[in-house]
């Protein structure tokens, strides 16, 4: 079953949503999206911002371990801007990319980002599964 996500444009001045740009039918990994919105910059370029997170709440030790082993470089190599959002309860990353009105291209970009995020988290979970003792000793 697909999840319909409405892409809204947010005002840079007020932070309020101003208008609907388009809808996306996401069929995989939608549970990794914390939020998604578009923002017009001063140069009139519109960027899509996607906050990605974990599919479930993480334990305290997992929080740092996930950040330590998550490779944001995989997104940077593809030209995306990415930053860690450490103010969130679970590990979260905000990815920014050029917005396009082309629904197929935008959907492909979002699906590619979701697949990369899923693959990277799976790898991170594999790496940290036996590291609980290391991280609990740091606390």
Span 118-138, pLDDT tens digits: 999 999 999 999 988 888 876
The H or E element containing residue 49 is: strand 46-53
Given a contact cutoff of 8 angstroms between Cβ atoms, the answer to whether 49 and 36 are in contact is: yes
Q: Which of 5-19, 26-40, 89-103, 111-125 has the weakest average pLDDT?
A: 5-19
Per-residue pLDDT tens digits for 55-80? 999 999 999 999 999 999 999 999 99
Please, are residues 99 and 106 in contact by the beta-carbon 8 Å criterion?
yes
Report residue 54's pLDDT band, with 50, 70 and 90 as the boundaries.
very high
What pLDDT, on a 0 to 100 scale, did the predictor assign at position 89?
Answer: 93
Mean pLDDT of the chain: 93
Using alpha carbons only, how large is the chain's radius of gyration in Å?
16
Q: How many CB atoms lie within 10 A of CB 78?
A: 14
List the structure tokens of 114: 């979701």
Across 7-16, 17-26, 93-102, 115-124, least confident range: 7-16
DSSP state string for 60-118: HHHHHHHHHH--THHHHTTT-EEEE-TTSSS-EEEEEEE--S-HHHHHHHHHHHHHHHH
Give all strands of the β-sheet with 81-84 in edge-to-edge order.
17-26, 3-10, 33-40, 46-53, 92-98, 81-84
Cβ–Cβ contacts within 10 Å for residue 122, how many? 10
Q: Are 110 and 50 in contact (CB under 8 A)?
A: yes
Residue 100 confidence class, pLDDT cut points 50, 70, 90: very high
Per-residue pLDDT at 4 exceeds 80: yes
pLDDT value of position 139: 59
């Amino acid at each position: 079953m697909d999840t319909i996500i409405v892409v809204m444009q947010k005002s840079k001045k007020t932070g309020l949503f101003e208008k609907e740009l388009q809808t996306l039918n996401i069929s995989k990994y939608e549970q990794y999206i914390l939020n998604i919105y578009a923002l017009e910059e001063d140069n009139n370029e519109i960027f899509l911002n996607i906050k990605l997170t974990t599919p479930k709440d993480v334990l305290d030790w997992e929080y740092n371990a996930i950040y330590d082993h998550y490779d944001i470089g995989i997104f940077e190599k593809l030209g995306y801007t990415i930053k860690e959002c450490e103010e969130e309860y679970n590990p979260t990353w905000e990815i920014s990319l050029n917005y396009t009105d082309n629904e197929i291209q935008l959907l492909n970009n979002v699906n590619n980002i979701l697949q990369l995020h899923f693959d990277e988290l799976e790898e991170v979970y594999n790496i940290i599964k036996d590291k609980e003792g290391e991280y609990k000793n740091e606390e």
